[in-house]
Every structure is written in structure tokens, then in C-alpha cells.
Amino acid sequence: MAKLNILHFPDTRLRNKAKPVAQVDGAVRKLIDDMFETMYDAPGIGLAATQVNVDRRVIVIDVSEEHDAPLALVNPEIVARDGEEEMDEGCLSVPGIYEKVQRADHIRLRALDRDGNPLEMEAQGLLAVCIQHEIDHLDGKLFIDYLSNLKRQRIKKKLQKESRQERRDAEDDRRAI
């Protein structure tokens, strides 16, 4: 298994719309395993292939505290939504930012599992919110797109400033060696 590099906002590759997986083969299963390793290490409760610069409709999720409920979904599609829920969301591609987003509280979805078998399931609460957040990633959408332009611009400036500082610190470290 391998840990993958997570893209950070405002990287434009996060805006790519991922393509459906034609066949769940060994390469897709390796991608799923690498995505789980990356998500648990981050740590996070979900990850979409778009976030690791892979242009395919694959997401991994585990909202359990014990890390014992891994869920891999290939070509996920929401077929029904019900109710409303407002929850604080975070994103591994928008580090350190947490904001409230309104989403459906109850969803029904179709997907393929890790073995390529069709599955249909219902989800609610945090799992439903996380699935909607990850499918948004596959469509090039970020949770901060639900915020005002002003808030999004502030977040962009903050993250750009932090990444400039991180680059300077890394350069200083290299020079000190």
C-alpha cells in the first residue's frame, strides 16, 4: 500500500469532473487500498479520488471511531434524498477550515463495491453527509462552494498565506542542513 498526496484548495485539479470506472480491476482495488491508507493517516472520515489527483469516480469512507467500518464506493449515484441537516464540515483539501453546510439528512444510493458487485444502500446523519461531500468532490465541487464569495476568498487567502509560509520554512530547513 502507499500513501497518496492530497491536493489542497485552490489547486485547480480539484475542479476536475471524474470519469466513471469501466471495470473494477486490480488497479482500482489498489487505488482503493491506497486511498484508505491515506484517509486513515490524514486522519479523515472520507476521501475522493479527485483529491489524490485520480480522475475516476471512486470514494472511500469510514465514519466509525474504531476504524472498523470501511466503505468503498465506485461510481456512486444518489437516487433519492430526504430531509435536511446542517452540520459542521471539514475537508482534507481545505485544511483547518470547518463550516456549517446544509445537506439532505437521508439518502439512497447505488454504486459498485470493491469487488465490482452492484450495491444499493441507505444512509443518514454523518454517513449521509460524508457521502454527499465525497460525491461533490467527484463533480469538482468543494464544501466551501456553499459559502458566500467573501468567506471563500478569505479562506483562499488564508491557505495561500499558510502554504507560502510552509514553503519558506522548508527552504530554511534545507539551508540549515
List contacts with Zn ion (CB under 5 A): 91
x-marked contacts with ligand K1U along 123-162 as a string, rule CB under 6 A = ------xx--xx--x-------------------------
106-112 vs 118-124, strand pairing mode:
antiparallel
Contacting ligand K1U (CB under 6 A), which of 32, 35, 52, 91? 91
Torsion of CA 100, 112, 56, 132, to 10 degrees: -10
Cα–Cα dist 82/108, whole Å: 9
Footprint of ligand K1U on 4-63 (CB under 6 A): 43-48
Catalytic residue among 134, 162, 166, 171: 134
Minimum Å gap between C-beta 175 and ligand K1U is: 33
Minimum Å gap between C-beta 148 and ligand K1U is: 19
Q: Is 99 a catalytic residue?
A: no
Cα–Cα dist 96/25, whole Å: 35
Of 43 and 177, CB closest to Zn ion: 43
CB atoms within 10 A of CB 151: 13
From the number of C-beta atoms within 10 Å of its C-beta (0-12, 13-18, 19+), residue 147 rates as middle
| Binding footprint of ligand K1U on the chain (CB under 6 A) | 43-48, 89-93, 129-130, 133-134, 137
Catalytically active residues, by annotation? 134
